[in-house]
């Protein structure tokens, strides 16, 4: 089993049907040749890793590739598949997971938060979403999955951008940021990533979440939901100190009853009696609180929280949060 210091980073690749996910996957393998990957694909052998790279397939459907990486097919039980990889005897130092075009990636991310053995061996690096600039507008109107993929992503590659007009690209950017103000949007074509640092971003580390949260609140005003269809991003700035027991109980309850509509939350929180800024992050029904920086002497202890989900009631959340104060 991995120690905390050497847990294996995980990058999840999601995005629209035909957006270029498999192209990106193959480019990541070529762009980072020193990494020894394990790759989980949805449809291995159809249009994924080049078949001539496969040199061995074992009884667990784990394939060894000519470049030393290993590859397997995503099944219904991701946690068990991850444990099979760990017990395969084949070493790897980075995990790439490619989801289907119609998948909700939040359920994949949640596995790395909720299963103890998986959480002990792996750490989330980031979620990369491939968005098709030519078809984004129509897809966002027609497909709920598009909203979910955008909402959970840390990095959004706006692919085929060179084939789209500047005006439409601006409209797409505004739509994406209304769904997910935390996301970094990068325009590209042919899923070209040369010169881009897409791996080892560690977007789920406490210090990164803290920096992202501060960036979002410096660019937006709290209390004004950003809305596209039924997906909402609600930001809250609250003075005071939370009661840790009340907050933990409420958060577990809130996420449990809203797990089908709650995608992600991030925040910097002040807990009574704690000298640290506490960093909150959640995916679906799982959440994590970690120590951030110390509060500076004389610094105003303000809570900043962002909730992203479907049909969230801003007033109810705000009232609940205010009732959790000491």
Domain of 168: which CATH number?
3.40.50.300
Q: Do residue 211 and residue 95 come from a single domain?
A: no
- The whole-chain average pLDDT of the chain stands at 82
pLDDT in tens, 235-290: 899 999 999 999 999 999 999 999 888 888 989 999 999 999 999 989 888 898 98
Per DSSP bridges, beta strands 262-269 and 276-283 are: antiparallel
Q: Do residue 58 and residue 165 come from a single domain?
A: yes
For residue 37, is pLDDT > 80? yes
Nearest residue to 96 via CA among 4, 197, 24, 188: 24
For residue 46, is pLDDT > 70? no
The contacts of residue 5 (CB under 8 Å, 6+ apart) are none
Flag whether 192 is in a domain. Answer: no
Domain boundary among 158, 187, 216: 187
Q: Do residue 163 and residue 228 come from a single domain?
A: no
Q: Do residue 113 and residue 56 come from a single domain?
A: yes
How far apart (Å, rounded) are the C-alpha atoms in residues 241 and 258? 25
Query: What are the distances in angstroms from CA 235 to CA 151, 240, 323?
Result: 14, 16, 17
pLDDT at 78: 85
pLDDT at 264: 87
Flag whether 201 is in a domain. Answer: no
Q: Do residue 50 and residue 146 come from a single domain?
A: yes
Q: What value does the mean pLDDT take over residues 78-106?
A: 85
For residue 166, is pLDDT > 90? yes
Q: Do residue 227 and residue 161 come from a single domain?
A: no
Nearest residue to 132 via CA among 155, 160, 174: 160
pLDDT band at 98 (very low <50, low <70, confident <90, very high): confident
Domain boundary among 132, 157, 187: 187
Percentage, residues of the chain above pLDDT 90: 38
Domain boundary among 134, 155, 187: 187
pLDDT at 29: 85
pLDDT band at 191 (very low <50, low <70, confident <90, very high): confident
Q: Do residue 242 and residue 153 come from a single domain?
A: no
Nearest residue to 183 via CA among 206, 160, 157, 205: 157
**Range of lowest pLDDT (70-84, 104-118, 247-261, 281-295):** 70-84
**Angle (nearest 5°) at CA 256 between 126 and 324:** 95
Nearest residue to 169 via CA among 156, 182, 181: 156
Which has the higher per-residue pLDDT, 71 or 60? 71
Domain that includes residue 240, residue range: 206-322
pLDDT at 205: 79
Domain count, the chain: 2
Per DSSP bridges, beta strands 262-269 and 302-310 are: antiparallel
């Amino acid at each position: 089993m991995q120690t905390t210091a050497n847990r294996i980073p995980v990058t999840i690749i999601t995005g629209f049907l035909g957006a270029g996910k498999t192209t990106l996957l193959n480019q990541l393998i070529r762009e980072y040749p020193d990494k020894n990957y394990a790759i989980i694909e949805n449809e291995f052998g159809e249009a994924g890793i080049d078949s001539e790279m496969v040199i061995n397939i074992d009884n667990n459907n784990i394939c060894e590739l000519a470049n030393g990486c290993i590859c397997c097919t995503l099944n219904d039980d991701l946690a068990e598949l991850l444990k099979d990889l760990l017990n395969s005897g084949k070493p790897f130092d980075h995990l790439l997971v490619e989801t289907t075009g119609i998948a909700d990636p939040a359920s994949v991310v949640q596995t790395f938060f909720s299963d103890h053995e998986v959480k002990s061996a792996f750490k989330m690096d980031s979620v990369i979403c491939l968005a098709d600039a030519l078809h984004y507008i129509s897809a966002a109107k027609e497909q709920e999955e598009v909203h979910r993929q955008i909402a959970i992503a840390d990095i959004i590659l706006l692919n085929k951008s060179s084939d789209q007009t500047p005006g439409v690209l601006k409209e797409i950017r505004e739509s994406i940021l209304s769904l997910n103000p935390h996301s970094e949007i990068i325009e590209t074509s042919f899923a070209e990533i040369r010169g881009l640092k897409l791996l080892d971003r560690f977007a789920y580390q406490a210090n990164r979440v803290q920096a992202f949260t501060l960036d979002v609140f410096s660019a937006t005003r709290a209390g004004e939901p950003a809305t596209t269809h039924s997906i909402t991003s609600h930001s809250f700035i609250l003075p005071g100190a939370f009661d840790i027991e009340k907050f933990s109980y409420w958060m577990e309850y809130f996420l449990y009853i809203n797990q089908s509509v709650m995608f992600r939350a991030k925040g910097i929180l002040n807990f009574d009696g704690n000298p640290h800024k506490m960093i909150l992050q959640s995916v679906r029904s799982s959440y994590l609180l970690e120590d951030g920086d110390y509060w500076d002497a004389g610094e105003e202890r303000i809570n900043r929280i962002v909730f992203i989900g479907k049909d969230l009631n801003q007033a109810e959340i705000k009232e609940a949060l205010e009732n959790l104060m000491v």
